[in-house]
Chains A and B, each alone.
Chain A
Amino acid sequence: MNFDLRLPIGLLFTFYGVVLVIVGLTTDKELYERSLGININIIWGLVLFVFGATMLLLSLKSARRPPPPPDSRPPH
């Protein structure tokens, strides 16, 4: 009855991933002195992107199938 929460989670983190990768590609090397010389924006952007995309895929996959029957077992 409620919508699939994986959809907004997927959308949000895919978006964040894309933004971070773009920032990582367009900023100077000096910016990453603080993060110990690692371009953490690209690396973490990819992590967020993969996480978000996985959530999106899972959500789309289950939307195509009919919803599973609700748990009808009695509580005891």
Chain B
Amino acid sequence: MHIQLSWTDYLILFVYFAFVIGIGWALKRRMKGSNDFFMSGRSIPAWVTGLAFLSANLGAQEVIGMAASGAKYGIMTSHFYWVGAIPAMVFLAIFMMPFYYGSKARSVPEYLRLRFDEKTRGFNAISFAAMTVFSSGISLHALAKLLETLVGWDYDVCISVSAFIVLVYIFLGGLTSAIYNEVLQFFMIVLGFAPLAFLALKDVGGWEGLKLKLAPVATSQGFADGTWYESWAHMGSPADNPMGIGWFGMVMGLGFVLSFGYWCTDFLVVQRAMVANSMSAARRTPLIAAVPKMLFPALVILPGMVAIALHHAGGGQLLPIGADGTPDYNMTIPTLLGKYLPTGLLGVGFTALMASFMSGMAGNVTAFNTVWTYDIYQSYIAPKRTDNHYLWMGRMATVFGILLSVGAAYLASKFNNIMDMLQLVFGFVNAPLFATFLLGMFWRRATGHGAFFGLLGGTLAAMLFHGLAHTRGALAGIKGSWISPRFEFASEMSQNFWMAIVAFTACLLLTIVISLATRQTKTPDELKGLVYSLTPKLKSEDEPWYQRPVTVGVIVMGVAVLLNLLFW
């Protein structure tokens, strides 16, 4: 697999980098204090925070991973959007943003301190900071490895150049620079991949032609005809679909626990909404992001489906074959780029690919420097310094955050197992998180002890579950069942979804029981603005209908339901 770039393609790429750094440079003068650097002075309009909200989520897994998944599992991948994203984004906008934005917390961990106590914040801040560094490292590693195979660039050069560019623009312009660049990256990704999706679909003979060619893909693997182009019809039993999961595990595990846990509590995305210029803009942020998010399957999943259809019809020639004899699904998008795009547009598509990796990395770095400076450094290491000192620390945190990411990237390239292990541990920590926020925001009786020990218990429950469950055919070990093989799942995905369900339930029950057994240390006055029942309701009657969160939220949900029915 190799792509030949001409000088026009390089020109397009370099001009893009020049703009990215130029934006950081232009914002440099405006970084007067830590509030500007970490919070963009809370002055960003909703359309910008909205698109940045979406773009920060476009990490390594989005473009490459979702296209790969589209090829491997077909249109069922759309559940990651229409089930696993939209409902949670609407919930965040309507129900949770009022507390995040209204509390004036500067980060998600800080909200936990205001609502619960110091130890709950510390637990969340430290695990989150570690996680961002590793995700950004994995993103960096994936990018460098891809560029190495695709255009033959040196791995070390790719790592240092990408890391350096991200470093420069965040160092100069802080969060505003990251957000502005994320919006630029958003347009780059949409406008760079749209012609690819169009050409691929045209080549395969449109939607009908695609269905015809996808049927043999399904039947050759022992599934029903429509498995690759019908999203719900084959979810009655885990045995009926390649994801190996039933509808209940999908809806509860992905649609509820994991999706709400990510979109509603992960500071990486929530940070974008928290710096909007008004409460109304903050609430509109996830809704504005939800509109393109709903349409993204056409951009990333559809090309994957076309690729596997053409691969199968062409006798297994299109996609490169991996060491285990199955197609290397991660090469789906790069293969299509090389196949359809002529020089010129190829430069745009290639730049879009690099942009998607860099936006994911920048999102992690800005979330890291904020949590590190406010929730760890200012809270535990050096409180009560001047604002200038924290601004300086933010810049330093950007530098060592990126250095740590580079370290993590090399770790990933040397020891794949360590990265698997770390991702597993973060999975344990993340799975129960939404229960804590749900109870914190909607049940005034939830206490600090309840939240902390509930979270800990949920994490342990996830670990225990993992020790007892495994995927069919897998050996006991890092993939599960290291205590004893008690439960067997049809696929790793199904195992993960069920782990999340178990962790969430354990955390929910534990938090309730411990809260009832302990005393509420916060007065109703302290909880005002943090808990639903103690916060005055927001009114948005004086806004036009398209700016009212509830109205827009209902419309967005309606369209998501429609899309599910359309591709049922």
Contacts and interface: CB of A to CB of B under 8 A. Distances in A.
Interface of A: 1-3, 5, 8-9, 11-13, 15-16, 19-20, 23-24, 27, 31-32, 34-36, 38, 40-41, 44-45, 47-48, 51, 70-71, 73, 75-76
The interface centre, meaning the residue of A11, A31, A48 with most chain B CB atoms within 10 A of its CB, is A48
Nearest to B191: A48
B19 A12 contact: yes
Interface string B17-45: 00100110011001000000000110110
Contacts of B187: 9, 13, 51
Given A31-B342, A34-B340, A71-B280, A40 B41 contact: no
8 contacts: A2-B27, A12-B16, A19-B344, A24-B344, A27-B343, A45-B344, A51-B187, A73-B280
Contact of B345 (A3, A5, A41): A41
A15 B15 contact: yes
A75 B339 contact: no
B389 interface: no
Q: Which secondary structure characterizes the binding site on chain A? A: helix
Contacts of B279: 75-76
Interface string B325-350: 00000000000000111111100100
A20 B48 contact: no
B281 interface: yes
A40 B342 contact: yes
Contacts of A16: 12, 15, 348
Contacts, number: 100
Contacts of A15: 15
Interface in B40-64: 40-41, 43-44, 48
A71 B540 CA distance: 14
Query: 10 closest Cβ contacts across the A-B interface?
Result: A23-B344, A71-B278, A75-B279, A41-B344, A31-B342, A44-B195, A20-B344, A12-B19, A5-B180, A1-B43
Interface residues of B, number: 43
B278 A73 contact: yes
B176 interface: yes
Contacts of A45: 344
Contacts of A2: 27, 30, 40-41, 43-44, 176, 180
B11 A19 contact: yes
Contacts of B340: 34-36
B106 to A, nearest CB: 15
B342 A27 contact: yes
B2 interface: no
Given A2-B44, A12-B16, A13-B191, A32 B342 contact: yes
B491 interface: no
A73 B342 CA distance: 51
A48 B352 CA distance: 14
Nearest to B23: A8
B385 to A, nearest CB: 25
B342 A70 contact: no
A40 B199 contact: yes
B18 to A, nearest CB: 9
B183 interface: yes
B315 interface: no
A23 B101 CA distance: 48
B322 to A, nearest CB: 25
